[in-house]
Structure 1
């Protein structure tokens, strides 16, 4: 059975792009395509390298001038790593996705995300009003950055994109993935983890001399960021996001954490094939530590 996205570079680009989008939905889509034989193991690995889960939203809010280049680096790393991963596992004759052959792909069953004839339900109208209000307030300088710059443009662009999604997404996608999944399940978790990380770092700085401890052991912290990244859940990695924002760790550690961790994008794959999930995590750790230590040695 031929993969839907073919064997060329296209599958790595698409999967890594999905991974580099904020949140976990892009990773979920890639997992679904993988188990249906539509993309390769390497393409899925590239997606998991490119994704940084719900932490991406916090990065955009705290340091957008760094977040965008970081996402671009993750996107490119995903493409290269995905391509190389497929070559390596082929050379080593490692069998992956044994369960995929049991899956049958039917194009008509692919979930539609956008609809040309949306039905304006109360939840759709509320979301649209929220994002239009954010666009207006940001444009007038009443919310967010006071001057027109990269940060304000980013916030307006994201709000515009979400407003378009609110209008044209299908009823199922809006209710199931945006309302139920993002707003009800994850928004409050992101808030609590961010608040907890901020409080923890602030207390640790004043009572435990955290700044000197971290800056004296940056190489250990880099390894620790990779180990914490193995946890298949958004939240614990927020500590490194906050520490970078506070100036406690360099970009290399933030990048290592972002490469290894994938929020909870791995959870659907774990329920399907533990073997492939572990293999992807091993590759993520290797790539994250390699890239992280290279940048760290360069003083970044």
Structure 2
């Protein structure tokens, strides 16, 4: 029981400091741009159909998952193509990017450039051929007429509204404006206080998370104190608990009350901060679920993903791509750390960079599971092709198959 409790507390702590604090910064950055430009960023993406895939790839390329998270709600409401989703998720390196950028910047430059090119090309191919979710729905309907298709987003002849997700009309800016009165003498001020405390934890978590990465991702003891390990634990667990509160309760009393949705504009700086906190809290919950499933699977079954991915030869990029199928950033950070220690060839790192979706997959998985699964499959295929090609064709020539390529 003590070991199970330790896994729970460590997952709460690591999920917040290693992932959520960085997600918060990137989501806030895009939100602040939206606030200062009155929605010009999202409007530019939505209005330029031919460049949507390229824009999606660029947003996914930003370290962390904030840029990619911005795109997912746009697909849900039917204003960007499915190829844009594929390109965004494929180019996303998630929070593992921070590890590689800090410890192997040269490898990061090559790996993420290759991932960006492969993902954008795949995204344009998906749109041009018409391989959107609607095509999958049609195939499923033929196999099982009783199956209920989710609609997807049309990609032939332009982007059209997603029939399964009707977001027409202005979105409510606050939960109090629609439905029953959710004001409370206790929960409303408590939720605002939790929101402010959450940002305090996010700032502290960002500092601690940056120091953690600069130190090479060391083992951090689960303890309470004023030292690095103690603050890492206290801030991480506090931030995770606050995230759970904001997601389960606080969002009904602070902010718009809905999650996994893009905002066209923001009324104030506080409104922008609220949106970023709620979106990050939503991602945090899913990250914690992924961390717990992964950690308990390792604890109860003895599964060692890193050892599998470190297999020699052509199995290395296949293993890297397979790890990329696991949602969330935890396993990807682990793989990046193994690479930085010289335990993986560059081909495995690149295959993982293409196949992984980071935390950006969670919002899409929650509201459109079929689209999330199809996008993951579409990114896994080029990940395997590029990874194997790097290992067999270009690796021996340019040294890209070497273990520890580009590590400081």
Change (3 A) 1:244 1:86: same
Structure 1 runs not aligned, ≥5 long? 112-120, 133-142, 145-166, 194-204
Contact in 2 for aligned 1:15/1:44 (Cα 8 Å): yes
Q: Secondary structure at the match of 2:49?
A: coil
Hey, what's the Cα distance between the residues in 1 that align with 2:366 and 2:282? 18
Aligned counterpart, 1:55: 96
Aligned twin of 1:104? 167
* Secondary structure of 1:98 counterpart: coil
The root-mean-square deviation of aligned C-alpha atoms, in Å, is 4.5
More relative contact order, 1 or 2 (CA 8 Å, 6+ apart): 2
The aligned residue for residue 255 of structure 1 is 350
Deviations 1:2-47 (A, max 9, x none): x933431x10121111211222222222110001111111110011
One of 377, 382, 389 as aligned partner of 1:282: 377
Displacement of 1:238 after TM fit? 2.5
Is the contact made by 1:124 and 1:174 (CA closer than 8 Å) also made in structure 2?
Answer: no
1:173 alignment partner, one of 275, 279, 286: 275
Q: Which aligned pairs between 1:86-165 and structure 2 lie closer than 5 A? A: 86-89=127-130, 94=135, 98=151, 100-101=162-163, 102-106=165-169, 108-109=170-171
1:137 aligns with: none
Pairwise CA distance, 1:61: 2.3
Structure 2 distance, partners of 1:175, 1:228, is: 29
Between structure 1 and structure 2, the one with the greater Rg is 2
1:16 aligns with 2:57: yes
Structure 2 residue runs without a partner (length 5+): 1-44, 138-149, 153-161, 174-195, 208-213, 216-267, 295-305, 401-408
Residues 34 and 110 from structure 1, CA distance in 2 versus in 1: closer, same or farther, beyond 3 angstroms?
A: farther
The one-character-per-residue Cα deviations of 1:125-148 (angstroms, maximum 9, x if unpaired) are 89789989xxxxxxxxxx99xxxx
Instruction: Please show how residues 71-86 of structure 1 align to structure 2 within 5 Å.
Output: 71-86=112-127
Q: How many residues in Structure 1 have an aligned counterpart in Structure 2? A: 249
8 Å Cα contact 2:323/2:331 also seen in 1: yes
Give me the TM-score of the superposition, normalised by structure 2.
0.49
Structure 1: 4+ residue segments shifted above 4 A: 90-93, 121-132, 180-187
CA 1:177 to 1:57, structure 2 compared with 1: closer, same or farther past 3 Å?
farther
Aligned equivalents of 2:331, 2:368: Cα separation in 1: 24
